[in-house]
Amino acid sequence: MEQMTLFDDEEELTLFDIDEPEPSKAFGRVLLKLSGEALAGKREWGVDETTALRFAQEIAEARLGLGVEISVVIGAGNFWRGAQHPEMDRANADYAGMLATVMNGLALQDRLEKLGQETRVMSAIETNKVAEPYIRRRATRHMEKGRVVILAGGTGNPYFTTDTAAVLRATELEADAVLMAKNGVDGVYDSDPKTNPDAKRFRFLSHKDVIEKDLKVMDSTAATMARDNGMKIVVFDGVKVGGLEEILLKPSTGTIIS
């Protein structure tokens, strides 16, 4: 039985029976979780053109260059967060956020298709003039044909985050992993690396660790769903140039939760 260290500096806790992915290509089908804030770049709100184009280029290169089937669940924090509008009915505020994810989905689709990457936006809420309805088998067929599928509208239900939508869709679409793109953080740490220079990055974690230690990787509903369905989560720095290709080729450069 191979022993593998939990931290990068090979100290403290250990995990067992974790196999390193093949260096050629670790995954055949993935779901990329992008936050709305990631699309905003350094802007306070909206979509930053340079940032959106870079994400599109990296997704297209992963699809065409590595042959990975890719779907994307996108958030809406660059336009709207339902929880930040307590003056509104919570369900209405969440529905407004779902509409904002469709806006982000269309923005990303536009950049991808300008690069020649065929793309479909599928929505969990009815927006038939601008996006297809989400149908699991159709989404799978799009990916098999080489299209990038952008999944907007969250789960289609209020009170659920896009983190939960990401795990749900990845499970439905039989993805190998959910790739969680973070803003300037290359994995999960034992403390905030932005304030603590001695923070240690976890290389590997279990779903149980994330839930019981409340590590803030994703909300508890998403983490529990990932655990119950055996869905692998890989946390990486989505801001880093080339970060998507790097994590696809070598997931241990981020944090693997399995």
Mind listing the pLDDT tens digit for each residue in 147-164?
999 999 999 999 999 999
The reported pLDDT for the residue numbered 177 is 96
Beta strands in 40-172, from DSSP E residues, in sequence order:
69-74, 119-123, 132-133, 148-152
Average pLDDT over residues 102-108: 95
The reported pLDDT for the residue numbered 108 is 96
The reported pLDDT for the residue numbered 216 is 81
Mind listing the pLDDT tens digit for each residue in 2-38?
444 444 444 433 333 344 444 456 799 999 999 888 8
- Per mean pLDDT, which range of 65-69, 74-78, 117-121, 243-247 is the poorest? 74-78
The reported pLDDT for the residue numbered 96 is 92
The reported pLDDT for the residue numbered 251 is 92
Average pLDDT over residues 69-77: 94
Q: Report the percentage of the chain scoring pLDDT > 90.
A: 64
Residue 227 pLDDT > 50 = yes
Please tell me the distance from the alpha carbon of residue 108 to that of residue 76, in angstroms, as a whole number: 12
| Summary count for the chain: helices (H), strands (E) | 8, 13
pTM over 0.85: yes
Rounded to the nearest integer, the mean pLDDT of the chain is 87
Residue 208 pLDDT > 60 = yes
Which string of DSSP letters, residue by residue, matches 170-231?
Answer: HHHTT-SEEEEEESS--SEESS-TTT-TT--EESEE-HHHHHHTT--SS-HHHHHHHHHHT-
What are the structural domains of the chain?
3-257 (3.40.1160.10)
